[in-house]
Chain A
Amino acid sequence: ILNVEQSPQSLHVQEGDSTNFTCSFPSSNFYALHWYRWETAKSPEALFVMTLNGDEKKKGRISATLNTKEGYSYLYIKGSQPEDSATYLCAFKTGGFKTIFGAGTRLFVKA
């Protein structure tokens, strides 16, 4: 059974804090790892796609790293803002189109 775990489940930070969370996935049969940002009452929006071990991606204050050998990815947010409040989902893809989503990390940023 393929399992994708995200931790923590939820996170409360103050505006200006930097934060990070984890996505753990099976280290075998890896094809790609996606991060999505999902605001309440909206649809998931793609942040990053990572396919190679050691990949690092950055978009503004948000960045992500990938370790396929040990099966984890970190998402970092530098200087959190209230508008960063959302659920951050990771999705693990095996060969072909099998996609398994994590349960998400719900981030609350207080002004």
Chain B
Amino acid sequence: DAGVIQSPRHEVTEMGQEVTLRCKPISGHDYLFWYRQTMMRGLELLIYFNNNVPIDDSGMPEDRFSAKMPNASFSTLKIQPSEPRDSAVYFCASSLLAGGGETQYFGPGTRLLVL
């Protein structure tokens, strides 16, 4: 398996533009997670899905952020409109099961810069 795939790897955009980040989880994994990593706050969980259904979106910073998972092999994280403070690395991760001991496999991340 190719692992978790994210695109784009880098994104530079202007404030106010819509940004869409994409993730393909590992095939057969039922759980998908979106994380954001910043210098100030470290790695934060934004939202996670189980079998394509959003389970906990309490980490989503505000209404400008939305995430979807239309099928088992694809998820998007959208920011509209984007702001400079959204600049961060966004990671997607997937895991097979739900248990606390279950390992999450991370994608390479999307480095977002909002000017």
Interface residues of A, Cβ cutoff 8 Å to B: 31-32, 34, 42-46, 49, 51, 89, 91, 93-99, 101-104
| Residue interface mask B89-106, A partner, CB < 8 A = 1 | 001000000111111111
User: Does B55 sit within 8 A of A, measured CB to CB?
Assistant: yes
Give chain B interface residues in 75-95, CB to chain A under 8 Å: 91
Tell whether, in the assembled complex, residue A97 and residue B106 are in contact, meaning their CB atoms are under 8 Å apart: no
B18 CB to closest chain A CB (Å) equals 25
Complex Cα–Cα for A91 and B31 (A): 17
A102-B106 contact given A51-B100, A95-B100, A97-B55, CB 8 Å threshold: no
Q: Which residues of A contact B44 (CB under 8 A)?
A: 101
Tell whether, in the assembled complex, residue B103 and residue A97 are in contact, meaning their CB atoms are under 8 Å apart: no
A43-B103 contact given A89-B43, A99-B45, CB 8 Å threshold: no
Tell whether, in the assembled complex, residue A45 and residue B43 are in contact, meaning their CB atoms are under 8 Å apart: no
| Residue interface mask B31-60, A partner, CB < 8 A = 1 | 100000000001111001000000110000
- What residue of chain B has the Cβ atom nearest to residue A30's Cβ? B100
Tell whether, in the assembled complex, residue B43 and residue A93 are in contact, meaning their CB atoms are under 8 Å apart: no
Complex Cα–Cα for A44 and B4 (A): 12
- What residue of chain A has the Cβ atom nearest to residue B44's Cβ? A101
Complex Cα–Cα for A99 and B102 (A): 12
Complex Cα–Cα for A101 and B59 (A): 13
User: Does B109 sit within 8 A of A, measured CB to CB?
Assistant: yes
A43-B98 contact given A101-B42, A103-B42, CB 8 Å threshold: no
Complex Cα–Cα for A71 and B40 (A): 24
Pairs across A and B, CB under 8 Å, 11 listed: A31-B100, A32-B100, A32-B101, A43-B107, A43-B109, A46-B103, A49-B102, A89-B43, A93-B100, A97-B48, A101-B43
